[in-house]
Amino acid sequence: MNIQHFDDDAALSAALATRVLEDIVAGPSLVLGLPTGRTPLGLYRELRERSGGDRVPWSQVRTFNLDEFAGLGASDPQSYRAFMQAELFDHVSIPPAHIGFLDGTAPNLEAECRRYERAIAAAGGIDLQILGIGASGHIGFNEPAERLCARTHVAELEQATRLANAQRFGGDWRKVPERALSMGMATILSARAIVLLATGREKTDAVRGTVEGMITTQLPASLLQLHSRVTVMVDREAWSG
Ligand code: PGA
């Protein structure tokens, strides 16, 4: 794993935005895998600010987001799709048809997961997958467990995960859906390159385990050690605690 150190979130976000924009200029039909959460907010801010006035050729870029809550769709303000619209998609010129997203309102969620895998394959696979990491070492909704689903699947959410997401639901964890759709670790590991972001001291243990620990499904991010092109971008707090 290639570890890149930054003083803080702002420096990390600026560096990653530069990489993404250089990749788009070098290959305008780039396929990006994107995360939600607090960690990528700085990245999306930088991309918005640097894309003004059609300076960046977003028109051929394709995106696939990692996950979505079951029961929520684009029109639900708590959905991850709404988050992405507000933080990035509404501000750059990606054609809506190029935005790949799991539909939490699909009538058959298992079929929706299979559709997503086919859509990623039809786009030629993901070139650059950007990831956040949970304090528990989760990636997307691949939570620590004895066994993990390899591909895109419906995940039952632990109470701790629903608590961690309560802020989007008026602070009430009981309003957080009990299930979500998520890329699996094999979907993620199929990307040609991966960037894992970690900021803040609550991520220190998860980062150590990811970078230095044994590979275990109890720390799903540790499976990233199986990939040959992973960059871990960390700020000082996430590295040193
Ligand atoms: P965060 O979430 O970016 O809000 O810390 C990361 C994650 O849980 O994947």
SS (H, E, C) the chain: CEEEEECCHHHHHHHHHHHHHHHHHHCCCCEEEECCCCCCHHHHHHHHHHCHHHCCCHHHCEEEECEEECCCCCCCCCCHHHHHHHHCHHHCCCCHHHEECCCCCCCCHHHHHHHHHHHHHHCCCCCEEEECCCCCCCECCECCCCCCCCCCEEEECCHHHHHHCHHHHCCCHHHCCCEEEECCHHHHHCCCEEEEEECCHHHHHHHHHHHHCCCCCCCHHHHHHHCCCEEEEEEHHHHHC
Q: How large is the average pLDDT for residues 126-154?
A: 97
Q: How large is the average pLDDT for residues 141-158?
A: 96
Q: Is the CB of 37 under 6 A from ligand 1?
A: yes
Q: How large is the average pLDDT for residues 147-163?
A: 95
Question: Contact, 69 vs 19, CB < 8 A?
Answer: no
Q: Is the CB of 36 under 6 A from ligand 1?
A: no
User: Can you give the pLDDT at residue 53?
Assistant: 73
> Could you identify the atom of ligand 1 that is nearest to the CA of residue 199?
5
| Residue 75 in this model has a pLDDT that exceeds 90 | yes
Q: Is the entire prediction scored with pTM above 0.85?
A: yes
Q: Classify 2-232 by CATH class.
A: alpha beta
Q: How far is CA 2 from the centre of its chain?
A: 19
pLDDT (tens digit, 9 = 90+) per residue, 30-66?
999 999 999 999 999 999 999 987 789 999 999 999 9
84: tokens are 């992405």
**Buried b / exposed e along 83-111 (16+ C-beta atoms within 10 A):** bbbebbbebbebeeebbbbbbbbbeebee
Q: Is the CB of 220 under 6 A from ligand 1?
A: no
Q: Is the CB of 38 under 6 A from ligand 1?
A: yes
Q: How large is the average pLDDT for residues 59-83?
A: 97
User: Can you give the pLDDT at residue 55?
Assistant: 83
CA 108-110-116 angle, to 5 degrees, is 105
The pLDDT > 90 percentage for the chain reads 95
Q: How large is the average pLDDT for residues 119-135?
A: 97
Distance between Cα 53 and ligand 1 center (Å): 31
Q: What is d(CA 103, CA 108) in angstroms, rounded to the nearest whole number?
A: 10
User: Can you give the pLDDT at residue 160?
Assistant: 87
Distance between Cα 199 and ligand 1 center (Å): 9
Q: What is d(CA 223, CA 188) in angstroms, rounded to the nearest whole number?
A: 10
Residue with CA at minimum distance from ligand 1 atom 2: 37
Q: What average pLDDT is seen over the chain?
A: 96
| Residue 128 in this model has a pLDDT that exceeds 90 | yes
Strand partners, 130: 195
pLDDT (tens digit, 9 = 90+) per residue, 187-232?
999 999 999 999 999 999 999 999 999 999 999 999 999 999 999 9
> Could you identify the atom of ligand 1 that is nearest to the CA of residue 39?
3
Distance between Cα 203 and ligand 1 center (Å): 9
> Could you identify the atom of ligand 1 that is nearest to the CA of residue 40?
3
Return the biggest CA–CA distance within the chain: 49
